[in-house]
Copies of this chain bind each other. A is one copy, B any other.
């Protein structure tokens, strides 16, 4: 079975976003090399990725934006929609809640959890905050399969286990800790600190060798 790579999935998300933008601009067709320029890849890469989901363009006309968009959507999205649980309403958690508030209807953060009694039972950015103790029962009852972890690093593992216990199958983890979970649970780490340190390193390289053209 020709399973599809995680990198391709990521790029498909990016393609789709750019397609939406092109459609808003009134375009109806797009070439692989245009999509490549917009997303920072190569034309061949784009074609390979689209091949993976079975959508076929037509030579000379490229891809029909609406069709391709729909093709990606039917590949990536749950037609019933998906709910997301977010744990930890600190600075980051609230920023994310605000950002995704009113987001596309098929993927919505519909439950938040925190230990802080000052946040529990309030509605924040359109999302009800529950006590952490209710996490497992609520995710299980509502069949929530996606979680976001925005709690301090020390709490991350515990929270991850609760999410897993509540039937969550995929987690976006902002805490700088490797989560130890059953193999069948997908974890996408977002490590802001590492990203910054990495950038700092490349800036430093630049200072160490003021000439090189390396990317």
- CB within 8 Å of B: which residues of A? 3, 6, 9-10, 13-14, 17, 38-40, 76-78, 82, 84, 90-92, 94-96, 98-100, 107, 145-146, 148, 168-172, 176, 178, 183-184, 186, 188, 190-204, 206-207, 212-215
Contact = CB atoms under 8 A, between A and B. Distances in A.
A184 B200 contact: no
Contact of A199 (B98, B172, B201, B204): B172
11 contacts: A3-B214, A13-B197, A14-B194, A92-B99, A168-B203, A170-B201, A170-B206, A184-B212, A188-B198, A188-B199, A190-B192
A35 B146 CA distance: 28
B99 A91 contact: yes
A198 B99 contact: no
B193 A17 contact: yes
5 nearest CB pairs, A to B:
A91-B95, A186-B202, A145-B203, A170-B203, A170-B199
Contact of A207 (B10, B14, B145, B198): B145
Contacts of A84: 196, 200
Contact of A82 (B96, B190, B200): B200
Contact of A213 (B184, B206, B213): B184
Contacts of A6: 198
A212 B184 CA distance: 8
Contacts of A145: 200, 203-204, 206-207
